[in-house]
Amino acid sequence: GQNIDQPTEMTATEGAIVQINCTYQTSGFNGLFWYQQHAGEAPTFLSYNVLDGLEEKGRFSSFLSRSKGYSYLLLKELQMKDSASYLCAVREGGGADGLTFGKGTHLIIQP
Amino acid sequence: DTAVSQTPKYLVTQMGNDKSIKCEQNLGHDTMYWYKQDSKKFLKIMFSYNNKELIINETVPNRFSPKSPDKAHLNLHINSLELGDSAVYFCASSQFPLSGRRDTQYFGPGTRLTVL
């Protein structure tokens, strides 16, 4: 079966760094995505990894280890607006199939 | 300049009714999707569709059916609505995925369905 695990909730301080982990066990693997979702809004794309290693994009970085079935999203210089849910999602196949999402990590930023 | 749009944003209806949610994308994408997000915020794929195939998540009841009049639209029809259908439904689109190719999905704003 498919299993994508992330912590349910995390708290961090404004200006600090936080790492959100995601582990996955899926029947196939064709890329891992991170999405941000503010309450009452649509998920918005943050990052994509298909090869092992780190992808950096401004204050956000994402890491992938396919052999370990593991990814993390690193957020630096945290701002209050970063308070949101962060969704880890795996694309399993190469055809027109959708993403398999984890249950999301609710990140709370404190002043 | 909305990339993926859905209507209506809110839908309140009685049990047993039939309703539709519309989705349109102006990104020129080949593939469209419907996701359901339940009260625990768990986002789950329902359908994915392009001009070659319809993939249905086996857990979706056959009361739900996608209908695509053209490549830019994928509407969701729901028959005989039940209380458990209450959720937020998101439409999304992407370029037709090829192996090893980046395939970002862009989500619509969501439709909050409440069944009374």
Render pLDDT for B51-85 as a digit per residue (tens, 0 to 9): 777 887 878 999 999 998 888 999 999 999 999 99
Q: Among partner residues A31, A42, A50, which is closest to B107 by beta-carbon distance?
A: A42
- Percent of chain B at pLDDT exceeding 90: 62
Q: Does the distance separating the beta carbons of B102 and A103 come in below 8 Å? A: no
Lowest-pLDDT range of A55-59, B23-27, B41-45, B80-84:
B41-45
Mean pLDDT, chain B, whole residue set? 89
Q: What is the pLDDT at residue B21?
A: 98
Q: Does the distance separating the beta carbons of B44 and A104 come in below 8 Å? A: no
**Which stretches of chain A score pLDDT less than 70?**
1-2, 94-97
Pairing of strands A9-13, A105-110: parallel
The answer to whether A30 contacts chain B (CB < 8 Å) is: yes
**Distance separating alpha carbons of residues B8 and B92, to the nearest angstrom:** 15
| pLDDT for residue B99 is more than 60 | no
Find which of A99, A106, A107 to mutate to test the B interface (most B CBs within 10 Å of its CB): A99
Instruction: Kindly report whether the peptide bond that precedes residue A111 is cis, defined as omega within 30 degrees of 0.
Output: no
Q: Does the distance separating the beta carbons of A41 and B55 come in below 8 Å? A: no
Which DSSP symbol is given to B110?
-
8 A C-beta contact, residue A74 and residue A17: yes
The answer to whether A13 contacts chain B (CB < 8 Å) is: no
Measure in Å the smallest separation between the Cα of B41 and chain A Cα atoms.
Answer: 7
**Distance separating alpha carbons of residues B84 and B47, to the nearest angstrom:** 18
Q: Does the distance separating the beta carbons of B110 and A41 come in below 8 Å? A: yes
Q: Does the distance separating the beta carbons of B102 and A31 come in below 8 Å? A: yes
Measure in Å the smallest separation between the Cα of A47 and chain B Cα atoms.
Answer: 9
